[in-house]
Amino acid sequence: MPDLPALELLLAVARLGSLGRAAAEAGISQPAASARMRTLERLAGVPLLERTPRGSVLTPAGVLVTEWAGPLLDAADELDTGLAALREDHNTRLRVEASLTVAEYLLPRWLVALREALPGVAVSLRVGNSTDVAARVLAGEADLGFTEGVRAPGGLDSAVVAHDRLTVVVAPGHRWARRRSPLPAAELAATPLVQREPGSGTREVLAAALARHGTPAADPLLELASTTALKAAAVSGAGPAVLSSLAVADDIASGRLVAVEVAGLALSRSLRAVWPHGTHPTGPARELLSLTRGTA
């Protein structure tokens, strides 16, 4: 298993052109950096660096590992920032409360950006469903909230920060992937799906939308507890799954999954930032809100 600090060091070497400078930046000694790179190269089996008396440059294999490591470290950074926000739950400066979809897909990047813009602010993060969020913002227990739903909660001012749409996805080999016309809602309802556990938000939204078509939904094909598991099952051809468009965007782009159009089904909802009615977010809350603005 690759080791995150070693990968970070590799990127630093690529950027700075020398093992010693990378070591200094990482706050470790030059021999330690040398040893880390050696273990990483032992893991890869091929040299990743070309050492010269004037510095070190990446080999082609090193470039490849670098490119693979970039997204990995980004994800780690987002997780780390998220953990820090959870940690700040009590002694806080900016208290954010968000519904799960926003917390899962959008907030990590915003928090990373916020930390860059305002390094000093301690951000706390709580997770709750949309009514919880609204209640806590109203009660002044959170400075800024993020909710999901078709309409804004009452008593709050809000701004739409993103749109989310439940998307039906199948593996590329599935027959729905070759359809040229939208899938009738009735056929979707009659087909066993890979689903989240009962009580999950997306599952209930889907059930409600299908019920409006008067078609009783088939029993789930499989019930799984995490988005990752759901996607993996769909990719492996277990059957169609219904997921947030934010969760499957990259899988669709890379061709792992194919989105299936469904006729006449309203599966869209808005993700909103909310704050108490009549006020304007200020300070860090204002900054965070402005970071979300471009991404509508």
Partner DNA sequence: ATGAGGTCATAAGGCGGCCTTATGGCCGGT
Partner DNA sequence: ACCGGCCATAAGGCCGCCTTATGACCTCAT
201 touches, from its own copies, DNA, none (C-beta below 5 to 8 Å by class)? none
Q: Which helix (H) or strand (E) holds 251?
A: helix 245-254
State how far Cα 11 lies from the chain centre: 23
What does the alpha-carbon distance between residue 132 and residue 122 come to, in Å, rounded to a whole number?
Answer: 22
221 touches, from its own copies, DNA, none (C-beta below 5 to 8 Å by class)? none
Q: Does 286 bind its own copies (CB under 8 A)?
A: no
Q: What is the CA radius of gyration of the chain?
A: 23
Q: Does 94 bind its own copies (CB under 8 A)?
A: no
Cβ atoms of 162 and 268 closer than 8 Å: no
State how far Cα 281 lies from the chain centre: 25
Of the pair 189, 269, the CB lying nearest its own copies is at 269
Q: Does 79 bind its own copies (CB under 8 A)?
A: yes
Question: Would you tell me which residues interact with DNA (CB under 7 A)?
Answer: 3, 5, 18-21, 27-32, 34-39, 51, 53-56
74 touches, from its own copies, DNA, none (C-beta below 5 to 8 Å by class)? its own copies
What does the alpha-carbon distance between residue 204 and residue 106 come to, in Å, rounded to a whole number?
Answer: 22
Helix, strand, coil in percent for the chain, rounding step 5: 50, 20, 30
65 touches, from its own copies, DNA, none (C-beta below 5 to 8 Å by class)? its own copies
Of the pair 54, 175, the CB lying nearest DNA is at 54
Closest CA to 104 of 121, 88, 82, 85: 82
Which residues make up the interface to its own copies (CB under 8 A)?
Answer: 1-2, 4-5, 7, 11, 14-15, 43-46, 60-61, 63-72, 74-76, 78-80, 82-83, 86-89, 100, 103-106, 108-109, 127-128, 162, 171-173, 177, 225-228, 245-246, 249-250, 253-256, 293-296
